[in-house]
Amino acid sequence: MYDFNYKRAKSVDDAVASVSGVEEGKFVAGGMTLIPTLKQRLAKPSDLVDLGDLKDLVGIKVDGSSVTIGAMTPHAVVAASPEVKKAIPALAKLAGLIGDPMVRNRGTIGGSISNNDPAADYPSSVVGLGATVHTNKRTIAGDDFFTGLFETALEEGELVTKVVFPIPEKSGYMKFPNPASRYAVVGVFVSKGPQGVRVAVTGAGSHVFRVPEMEKALSSSFAPAAVENIKVSDADLNSDIHASAEYRAHLVTVMAKRAVAEANG
């Protein structure tokens, strides 16, 4: 990697102040994407601000209506949390399917959604549950947070602090992993709850998207059969050596069907 200035932030305000006014400042949470990128010299930030000491951003709170996950909470903690397993089992399951044990013990929800990899798992739950993303400046609806390939609604110097997930009646997550990287070739998160019926797809497109036809069908009948004949168009889907757009489109239907079955237990 190239040389950079390194700082461990003492507070959210300190972190935000530390990236402003520098040439190219970057927050590092778990570093599970950023560090390999640096090692391969594919990025050259001038300043790295480590969020590792921001213990306020670590932790899970569950009340009667929502699950709140601090931005610096590692995936492994979410996956193992009895409270999350009880309130939103699909969310705990999703966290347990990310990467491998090393990644799950370092990688964080804040880092994952801020990076917005098109094949990351977490964005599907944020949209699929109608979650709200809290930052140091404001709250952003999950539907408005992910704006494009590796792009989010976050502004310069804006830091995710927590994500609040409404507890649904039912939820399910099904992932078809890339055999090499284990990112999602297609991942589908479905839920039925206070935010209505939601179907959110990751891995297939430039970023997470909802499937209104499926949501409509599931609103009248929340059963696998409701979605099994609904195809998404492959026109804008990703195509690579692992899966053609056509295959991804097909997998969206299969994974959606299975996610609904899982949600229904």
Partner 1 sequence: MPDGSIGAPIKRREDRRFLTGNGRYVDDINRPNQTYAWIVRSSLAHAKIKRIDTSKAEKAPGVVRVLTGADWAADGVGGLPCGWQVIGKNQTPMHEPPHPALVADKVRHVGDNLAVVIAETRTQARDAAELIDIQFEELPAVVTMADATKKGAALVHDSVPDNICYDWELGDPAACDAQFKGAAHVTTLKLVNNRLVANPIEPRSAIAEYDASGDHYTLYTTSQNPHVIRLLMGAFVLSIPEHKLRVVAPDVGGGFGSKIYHYAEEAIVTWASKKVGRPIKWTADRSDSFMTDAQGRDHLTTAELALDKDGHFLALRVKTDANMGGYLSTFAPAIPTYLYATLLAGLYKTPVIYCNVRAIFTNTVPVDAYRGAGRPEACYLLERLVEQAARETGIEKTEIRRRNFIAKAEMPYQTPVALQYDSGDFIRNLEDGLKSADYAGFAKRRTASEKNGKLRGIGLATYIEACGIAPSAVAGALGARAGLYEAAEVRMHPTGSVTVFTGSHQHGQGHETTFAQLVADGLGVPVENVEVVHGDTDRIPFGMGTYGSRSLAVGGSAIVKAMDKIIAKGKKIAAHLLEAAVDDIEFANGTFKVSGTDKEIGIGQVALTAYVPHNYPIEELEPGLDESAFYDPKNFTFPNGCHIAEVEIDCDTGEVTLCSFNAVDDFGKIINPMIVEGQVHGGLVQGIGQALMEDCVYGEDGQLITGSFNDYSMPRADTVPSFTVAANEGAPCTHNPLGVKGCGEAGTIGAGAAVINAVIDALATRGITDIAMPATSHRVWQALQQSKA
| Sites of contact with partner 1 (CB under 8 A) | 2, 40-41, 176, 178-181, 241-244, 247, 250-251, 254
CA dist., res. 217 & res. 223, Å (int): 9
Exposed, middle or buried: residue 136 (CB in 10 Å: 0-12, 13-18, 19+)?
Answer: middle
Toward partner 1, which CB reaches closer, 165 or 189? 189
Toward partner 1, which CB reaches closer, 2 or 20? 2
Toward partner 1, which CB reaches closer, 58 or 242? 242
Toward partner 1, which CB reaches closer, 166 or 250? 250
- Name the minimum Å distance from CB 27 to partner 1: 23
CA dist., res. 199 & res. 256, Å (int): 8
CA dist., res. 8 & res. 20, Å (int): 15
- Name the minimum Å distance from CB 247 to partner 1: 5
User: 3-class DSSP state for residue 206?
Assistant: coil
Toward partner 1, which CB reaches closer, 3 or 155? 3
- Name the minimum Å distance from CB 258 to partner 1: 8
The alpha carbon of 219 is separated from its chain's Cα centroid by a whole number of angstroms, namely 24
Distances (CA, A) of 14 to 9, 68, 112, 175, 192: 6, 23, 21, 38, 39
- Name the minimum Å distance from CB 188 to partner 1: 13
Distances (CA, A) of 38 to 80, 149, 158: 30, 20, 22
The CA-CA-CA angle for residues 171, 215, 259, to 5°, reads 35
- Name the minimum Å distance from CB 243 to partner 1: 5
